[in-house]
Structure 1
Amino acid sequence: MNLTTAQILARFEGGPTTGVFTDGSCSGNPGPGGWGAVYVRDGVVLAQEWGADPATTNNRMELTAMIAGLTFLGPSEEADVFSDSALVVNTLTQWAKGWERLGWRRRDGEVKNLDLVQKAYALAQERPLAHIQWIRAHDGSRWNEYADSLSTAYQRTEV
Protein backbone atom coordinates (compact mmCIF):
# COMPACT_ATOMS: atom_id res chain seq x y z
CA MET A 1 0.00 0.00 0.00
CA ASN A 2 1.65 3.23 -1.14
CA LEU A 3 -1.00 5.84 -0.49
CA THR A 4 -0.62 9.60 -0.90
CA THR A 5 -1.01 11.79 2.16
CA ALA A 6 -4.46 12.87 0.91
CA GLN A 7 -5.52 9.23 0.67
CA ILE A 8 -4.18 8.61 4.19
CA LEU A 9 -6.23 11.49 5.60
CA ALA A 10 -9.37 10.18 3.88
CA ARG A 11 -8.86 6.59 5.04
CA PHE A 12 -7.50 6.75 8.63
CA GLU A 13 -8.80 8.43 11.79
CA GLY A 14 -7.27 6.58 14.75
CA GLY A 15 -4.30 7.20 16.99
CA PRO A 16 -2.88 10.28 18.70
CA THR A 17 -3.81 13.65 17.18
CA THR A 18 -0.93 15.64 18.64
CA GLY A 19 2.81 15.00 18.40
CA VAL A 20 5.68 14.49 16.01
CA PHE A 21 5.46 11.35 13.87
CA THR A 22 8.50 10.00 12.04
CA ASP A 23 9.09 7.12 9.66
CA GLY A 24 11.71 5.75 7.31
CA SER A 25 11.47 3.27 4.48
CA CYS A 26 13.72 1.40 2.11
CA SER A 27 13.00 -0.55 -1.06
CA GLY A 28 15.50 -3.32 -0.60
CA ASN A 29 17.84 -3.05 2.35
CA PRO A 30 20.16 -1.57 1.27
CA GLY A 31 18.51 0.21 -1.62
CA PRO A 32 16.68 3.44 -2.38
CA GLY A 33 14.90 4.83 0.64
CA GLY A 34 12.94 7.72 2.03
CA TRP A 35 12.00 9.39 5.28
CA GLY A 36 9.20 11.57 6.53
CA ALA A 37 8.28 13.56 9.60
CA VAL A 38 5.14 15.49 10.47
CA TYR A 39 4.35 17.70 13.48
CA VAL A 40 0.65 17.81 14.32
CA ARG A 41 -1.33 19.59 17.02
CA ASP A 42 -4.98 18.66 17.49
CA GLY A 43 -5.04 17.16 13.99
CA VAL A 44 -3.58 20.25 12.31
CA VAL A 45 -0.24 19.91 10.48
CA LEU A 46 2.24 22.46 11.83
CA ALA A 47 5.25 21.22 9.86
CA GLN A 48 6.23 18.37 7.61
CA GLU A 49 9.38 17.33 5.79
CA TRP A 50 10.46 14.38 3.70
CA GLY A 51 13.34 13.27 1.56
CA ALA A 52 15.04 10.37 -0.15
CA ASP A 53 18.42 8.72 -0.63
CA PRO A 54 19.19 6.57 -3.69
CA ALA A 55 21.41 4.13 -1.74
CA THR A 56 20.69 3.67 1.95
CA THR A 57 19.25 1.37 4.63
CA ASN A 58 15.97 1.38 6.49
CA ASN A 59 17.67 2.20 9.79
CA ARG A 60 19.43 5.23 8.28
CA MET A 61 16.10 6.51 6.98
CA GLU A 62 14.40 5.94 10.35
CA LEU A 63 17.17 7.91 12.09
CA THR A 64 17.03 10.68 9.47
CA ALA A 65 13.27 10.97 10.01
CA MET A 66 13.80 11.24 13.78
CA ILE A 67 16.40 13.99 13.26
CA ALA A 68 13.96 15.93 11.09
CA GLY A 69 11.16 15.45 13.60
CA LEU A 70 13.24 16.62 16.55
CA THR A 71 14.26 19.77 14.69
CA PHE A 72 10.59 20.78 14.52
CA LEU A 73 10.73 21.31 18.30
CA GLY A 74 12.33 24.12 20.23
CA PRO A 75 14.57 23.27 23.20
CA SER A 76 11.83 23.99 25.76
CA GLU A 77 8.90 22.63 23.75
CA GLU A 78 7.08 19.62 25.17
CA ALA A 79 5.82 17.02 22.72
CA ASP A 80 5.48 13.30 22.17
CA VAL A 81 7.74 12.12 19.35
CA PHE A 82 6.59 8.85 17.79
CA SER A 83 8.56 6.30 15.78
CA ASP A 84 7.53 2.81 14.75
CA SER A 85 11.20 1.80 14.85
CA ALA A 86 11.93 0.11 18.18
CA LEU A 87 15.62 0.32 17.26
CA VAL A 88 15.52 4.13 17.00
CA VAL A 89 13.45 4.53 20.17
CA ASN A 90 15.70 2.20 22.18
CA THR A 91 18.83 3.80 20.75
CA LEU A 92 17.81 7.27 21.90
CA THR A 93 16.10 6.39 25.18
CA GLN A 94 18.25 3.51 26.46
CA TRP A 95 21.49 2.74 24.64
CA ALA A 96 23.10 5.97 23.38
CA LYS A 97 23.94 7.25 26.85
CA GLY A 98 26.04 4.15 27.53
CA TRP A 99 27.66 4.25 24.09
CA GLU A 100 28.61 7.87 24.68
CA ARG A 101 30.17 6.91 28.03
CA LEU A 102 32.21 4.23 26.22
CA GLY A 103 33.52 6.72 23.65
CA TRP A 104 30.71 6.02 21.18
CA ARG A 105 31.35 2.30 21.05
CA ARG A 106 29.29 -0.68 22.07
CA ARG A 107 30.81 -3.16 24.47
CA ASP A 108 31.06 -5.64 21.59
CA GLY A 109 32.10 -3.28 18.79
CA GLU A 110 31.14 -0.28 16.74
CA VAL A 111 27.86 1.63 16.75
CA LYS A 112 26.22 1.36 13.35
CA ASN A 113 25.10 4.61 11.71
CA LEU A 114 27.13 6.51 14.30
CA ASP A 115 26.90 9.83 12.45
CA LEU A 116 23.10 9.78 12.59
CA VAL A 117 22.92 8.29 16.09
CA GLN A 118 25.11 11.07 17.47
CA LYS A 119 23.10 13.77 15.71
CA ALA A 120 19.73 12.38 16.83
CA TYR A 121 20.97 11.86 20.39
CA ALA A 122 22.34 15.42 20.59
CA LEU A 123 19.01 16.82 19.37
CA ALA A 124 17.11 14.68 21.88
CA GLN A 125 19.38 15.84 24.72
CA GLU A 126 18.80 19.47 23.72
CA ARG A 127 15.04 18.83 23.91
CA PRO A 128 14.46 17.27 27.34
CA LEU A 129 10.68 17.67 27.01
CA ALA A 130 10.56 15.62 23.79
CA HIS A 131 9.12 12.28 24.85
CA ILE A 132 10.40 9.76 22.32
CA GLN A 133 8.19 6.69 22.17
CA TRP A 134 7.33 3.71 20.05
CA ILE A 135 4.08 3.47 18.10
CA ARG A 136 2.85 0.35 16.34
CA ALA A 137 3.27 0.46 12.55
CA HIS A 138 0.35 0.06 10.15
CA ASP A 139 -2.36 -0.19 12.78
CA GLY A 140 -4.51 2.65 11.45
CA SER A 141 -2.93 5.50 13.42
CA ARG A 142 -3.62 8.41 11.06
CA TRP A 143 -0.46 10.43 11.65
CA ASN A 144 1.90 7.47 11.78
CA GLU A 145 0.42 6.33 8.46
CA TYR A 146 0.89 9.90 7.20
CA ALA A 147 4.58 9.85 8.16
CA ASP A 148 4.86 6.49 6.40
CA SER A 149 3.31 8.04 3.30
CA LEU A 150 5.85 10.86 3.40
CA SER A 151 8.65 8.29 3.69
CA THR A 152 7.51 6.52 0.52
CA ALA A 153 6.76 9.70 -1.46
CA TYR A 154 9.96 9.18 -3.46
CA GLN A 155 8.24 6.19 -5.10
CA ARG A 156 5.28 8.29 -6.33
CA THR A 157 4.75 11.32 -8.52
CA GLU A 158 2.45 12.87 -5.90
CA VAL A 159 3.08 13.34 -2.17
Structure 2
Amino acid sequence: MAFICGTCSREFTLPSAVLAKYPNWTPKQCMDCRDKPSPAGPAKAAKPKSKGSSVTRTQDLTTAEVLARFDGGPAHGIFTDGSSRPNPGPGGWGAVFVRDNAVIEQRHGADPWTTNNRMELTALIAGLEMAPPAESVIVFSDSQLVVNTLTKWARGWEGRGWKRKEGEIANLDLVKRAWELVQQRPNARIEWIRAHDGSRWNEYADALSTAHLRSEV
Protein backbone atom coordinates (compact mmCIF):
# COMPACT_ATOMS: atom_id res chain seq x y z
CA MET A 1 0.00 0.00 0.00
CA ALA A 2 1.28 3.47 -0.90
CA PHE A 3 0.83 6.66 1.13
CA ILE A 4 1.30 10.35 0.39
CA CYS A 5 3.64 12.31 2.65
CA GLY A 6 1.92 15.34 4.15
CA THR A 7 5.20 17.28 4.20
CA CYS A 8 6.89 16.66 0.83
CA SER A 9 3.83 15.25 -1.03
CA ARG A 10 5.84 12.29 -2.30
CA GLU A 11 4.45 8.77 -2.45
CA PHE A 12 6.05 6.31 -0.02
CA THR A 13 5.54 2.77 1.26
CA LEU A 14 6.25 0.88 4.48
CA PRO A 15 7.10 -2.82 4.96
CA SER A 16 4.05 -5.05 5.29
CA ALA A 17 5.36 -6.32 8.64
CA VAL A 18 5.24 -2.79 10.00
CA LEU A 19 1.70 -2.18 8.78
CA ALA A 20 0.58 -5.52 10.25
CA LYS A 21 1.87 -4.41 13.65
CA TYR A 22 -0.29 -1.28 13.65
CA PRO A 23 -3.67 -1.99 12.02
CA ASN A 24 -5.79 1.06 11.14
CA TRP A 25 -2.71 3.34 11.37
CA THR A 26 -2.20 5.76 8.49
CA PRO A 27 1.32 7.29 8.41
CA LYS A 28 1.36 11.03 7.74
CA GLN A 29 5.03 11.46 6.80
CA CYS A 30 7.69 9.53 4.93
CA MET A 31 10.72 8.50 6.97
CA ASP A 32 12.94 11.10 5.24
CA CYS A 33 10.70 13.93 6.45
CA ARG A 34 10.20 12.44 9.91
CA ASP A 35 13.96 12.24 10.43
CA LYS A 36 14.62 15.84 9.40
CA PRO A 37 15.14 18.30 12.28
CA SER A 38 12.52 21.01 12.58
CA PRO A 39 13.54 24.37 11.10
CA ALA A 40 14.94 26.72 13.72
CA GLY A 41 12.33 29.17 14.92
CA PRO A 42 12.82 32.61 16.45
CA ALA A 43 14.99 32.74 19.54
CA LYS A 44 13.10 32.43 22.79
CA ALA A 45 14.04 33.56 26.24
CA ALA A 46 15.40 30.78 28.40
CA LYS A 47 12.90 29.35 30.84
CA PRO A 48 13.74 28.31 34.38
CA LYS A 49 14.62 24.67 34.73
CA SER A 50 11.74 22.58 36.04
CA LYS A 51 11.19 19.04 37.17
CA GLY A 52 11.69 16.48 34.45
CA SER A 53 14.19 18.64 32.54
CA SER A 54 17.57 17.01 33.16
CA VAL A 55 20.25 17.01 30.48
CA THR A 56 19.17 13.53 29.35
CA ARG A 57 16.03 15.00 27.83
CA THR A 58 18.19 16.47 25.04
CA GLN A 59 21.42 14.41 25.20
CA ASP A 60 21.99 10.69 24.78
CA LEU A 61 24.43 10.05 27.62
CA THR A 62 26.30 6.78 28.06
CA THR A 63 25.78 4.82 31.26
CA ALA A 64 29.24 5.93 32.44
CA GLU A 65 28.33 9.58 31.87
CA VAL A 66 25.09 9.09 33.80
CA LEU A 67 26.96 7.65 36.78
CA ALA A 68 29.38 10.59 36.72
CA ARG A 69 26.62 13.23 36.59
CA PHE A 70 23.81 11.92 38.81
CA ASP A 71 23.57 10.65 42.38
CA GLY A 72 19.96 11.34 43.38
CA GLY A 73 16.92 9.11 43.70
CA PRO A 74 16.42 5.62 45.17
CA ALA A 75 19.52 3.49 45.71
CA HIS A 76 17.69 0.15 45.52
CA GLY A 77 15.25 -1.39 43.08
CA ILE A 78 14.76 -2.26 39.44
CA PHE A 79 14.56 0.66 37.01
CA THR A 80 13.10 0.33 33.53
CA ASP A 81 12.72 2.60 30.51
CA GLY A 82 11.92 2.44 26.81
CA SER A 83 11.28 4.73 23.86
CA SER A 84 11.13 5.02 20.09
CA ARG A 85 12.29 7.88 17.88
CA PRO A 86 10.10 8.78 16.05
CA ASN A 87 7.00 7.13 17.50
CA PRO A 88 6.42 4.69 15.89
CA GLY A 89 9.94 4.11 14.63
CA PRO A 90 13.26 2.58 15.77
CA GLY A 91 13.33 2.08 19.52
CA GLY A 92 15.08 0.55 22.48
CA TRP A 93 14.58 -0.54 26.07
CA GLY A 94 16.67 -0.95 29.20
CA ALA A 95 16.39 -2.34 32.73
CA VAL A 96 18.83 -2.31 35.65
CA PHE A 97 18.63 -4.03 39.05
CA VAL A 98 20.57 -2.25 41.81
CA ARG A 99 21.24 -2.69 45.53
CA ASP A 100 22.98 0.04 47.53
CA ASN A 101 23.82 1.85 44.28
CA ALA A 102 25.60 -1.23 42.89
CA VAL A 103 24.47 -2.90 39.67
CA ILE A 104 23.36 -6.50 40.21
CA GLU A 105 22.16 -7.08 36.63
CA GLN A 106 21.24 -5.07 33.57
CA ARG A 107 19.63 -5.77 30.21
CA HIS A 108 18.89 -3.76 27.10
CA GLY A 109 17.72 -4.28 23.53
CA ALA A 110 16.28 -2.62 20.46
CA ASP A 111 13.61 -3.02 17.78
CA PRO A 112 13.96 -1.55 14.26
CA TRP A 113 10.28 -0.50 14.22
CA THR A 114 8.21 -0.16 17.37
CA THR A 115 6.42 2.31 19.67
CA ASN A 116 7.19 4.02 22.97
CA ASN A 117 4.60 1.93 24.79
CA ARG A 118 5.89 -1.39 23.45
CA MET A 119 9.41 -0.50 24.53
CA GLU A 120 8.23 0.61 28.00
CA LEU A 121 6.38 -2.68 28.43
CA THR A 122 9.33 -4.70 27.13
CA ALA A 123 11.61 -2.94 29.62
CA LEU A 124 9.24 -3.67 32.49
CA ILE A 125 9.05 -7.34 31.48
CA ALA A 126 12.84 -7.53 31.55
CA GLY A 127 12.84 -5.85 34.96
CA LEU A 128 10.30 -8.28 36.37
CA GLU A 129 12.26 -11.22 34.98
CA MET A 130 15.29 -10.00 36.96
CA ALA A 131 13.28 -9.74 40.20
CA PRO A 132 13.88 -12.71 42.53
CA PRO A 133 10.42 -14.33 42.95
CA ALA A 134 10.53 -14.32 46.76
CA GLU A 135 12.25 -10.96 47.27
CA SER A 136 10.53 -7.69 48.12
CA VAL A 137 11.61 -5.24 45.45
CA ILE A 138 10.25 -2.11 43.77
CA VAL A 139 10.18 -2.09 39.99
CA PHE A 140 10.19 1.49 38.72
CA SER A 141 8.80 2.76 35.40
CA ASP A 142 8.46 6.34 34.24
CA SER A 143 5.43 5.39 32.11
CA GLN A 144 2.20 6.09 33.98
CA LEU A 145 0.33 4.09 31.32
CA VAL A 146 2.41 0.97 32.01
CA VAL A 147 2.14 1.37 35.79
CA ASN A 148 -1.63 1.88 35.65
CA THR A 149 -2.02 -1.04 33.25
CA LEU A 150 -0.45 -3.48 35.70
CA THR A 151 -1.62 -2.00 39.02
CA LYS A 152 -5.17 -0.95 38.11
CA TRP A 153 -6.50 -2.46 34.90
CA ALA A 154 -4.92 -5.82 34.01
CA ARG A 155 -6.77 -7.86 36.63
CA GLY A 156 -10.15 -6.64 35.36
CA TRP A 157 -9.19 -7.19 31.73
CA GLU A 158 -8.14 -10.76 32.54
CA GLY A 159 -11.44 -11.38 34.32
CA ARG A 160 -13.31 -10.24 31.20
CA GLY A 161 -11.33 -12.52 28.91
CA TRP A 162 -8.78 -9.82 28.08
CA LYS A 163 -11.36 -7.38 26.82
CA ARG A 164 -12.07 -3.76 27.71
CA LYS A 165 -15.25 -1.76 27.26
CA GLU A 166 -13.55 0.94 25.17
CA GLY A 167 -12.13 -1.45 22.54
CA GLU A 168 -9.10 -3.66 21.98
CA ILE A 169 -6.24 -3.74 24.48
CA ALA A 170 -3.12 -2.28 22.88
CA ASN A 171 0.02 -4.44 22.96
CA LEU A 172 -1.93 -7.31 24.46
CA ASP A 173 0.91 -9.81 23.95
CA LEU A 174 3.22 -7.74 26.16
CA VAL A 175 0.51 -6.86 28.70
CA LYS A 176 -0.30 -10.54 29.23
CA ARG A 177 3.36 -11.48 29.66
CA ALA A 178 3.94 -8.64 32.12
CA TRP A 179 0.82 -9.58 34.10
CA GLU A 180 1.95 -13.21 34.26
CA LEU A 181 5.25 -12.08 35.78
CA VAL A 182 3.47 -9.78 38.25
CA GLN A 183 1.46 -12.74 39.53
CA GLN A 184 4.58 -14.89 39.81
CA ARG A 185 6.30 -12.21 41.90
CA PRO A 186 3.80 -11.14 44.58
CA ASN A 187 6.50 -9.29 46.53
CA ALA A 188 7.45 -7.06 43.60
CA ARG A 189 5.79 -3.64 43.72
CA ILE A 190 5.47 -1.54 40.58
CA GLU A 191 5.80 2.22 41.06
CA TRP A 192 6.00 5.30 38.85
CA ILE A 193 9.10 7.49 38.86
CA ARG A 194 9.41 10.86 37.14
CA ALA A 195 11.47 10.78 33.93
CA HIS A 196 14.53 12.98 33.36
CA ASP A 197 14.50 14.26 36.94
CA GLY A 198 18.06 13.45 37.92
CA SER A 199 17.32 10.10 39.57
CA ARG A 200 20.55 8.19 38.92
CA TRP A 201 19.11 4.78 38.09
CA ASN A 202 16.14 6.01 36.10
CA GLU A 203 18.62 8.06 34.06
CA TYR A 204 20.78 4.93 33.76
CA ALA A 205 17.83 2.87 32.46
CA ASP A 206 17.17 5.67 29.97
CA ALA A 207 20.81 5.43 28.80
CA LEU A 208 20.42 1.67 28.35
CA SER A 209 17.27 2.24 26.28
CA THR A 210 19.14 4.54 23.88
CA ALA A 211 22.31 2.41 23.69
CA HIS A 212 21.28 1.27 20.20
CA LEU A 213 21.87 4.83 18.99
CA ARG A 214 25.52 4.87 20.12
CA SER A 215 28.70 2.82 19.75
CA GLU A 216 29.12 2.77 23.54
CA VAL A 217 26.57 1.62 26.11
Shorter chain as denominator, the TM-score bin is over 0.9
The equivalences for 1:3-42 within 5 A come to 3-42=61-100
Structure number with bigger Rg = 2
- Which string of whole-angstrom CA distances, capped at 9 and with x for unpartnered residues, describes residues 92-138 of structure 1? 00000011011101112110000000000110111011010000000
Q: Following superposition of structure 1 onto structure 2, how do residues 7-156 of structure 1 map, counting pairs within 5 Å? A: 7-156=65-214
Where 2:66 maps in the other structure, the secondary structure is helix
C-alpha separation in 2, matches of 1:150 and 1:101? 35
One-letter code aligned to 1:52 = A
Provide the aligned C-alpha RMSD in A.
0.5
Structure with the largest fraction of strand: 1
1:64-92 CA deviation, whole Å, 9 max, x = no partner?
00000000012211101100000000000
Identity over the aligned pairs, expressed in percent?
Answer: 68
Runs of 4+ in 1 over 2 A off after TM superposition: none
Which residue identity does 1:57 align to in structure 2? T
Gaps of 5+ in 1: none
Structure 2: how far apart are the matches of 1:149 and 1:74?
24
Count of paired positions: 159
Q: Quick one: distance in 2 between partners of 1:2 and 1:42?
A: 25
Query: What amino acid is aligned across from residue 122 of structure 1 in structure 2?
Result: E
In structure 2, runs of 5+ residues without a counterpart are: 1-58
Amino acid at match of 2:86: G
Higher relative contact order (CA 8 A, sep 6+): 1
- Report the secondary structure of 1:49's partner residue: strand
TM-score (ref. length: structure 2) = 0.73
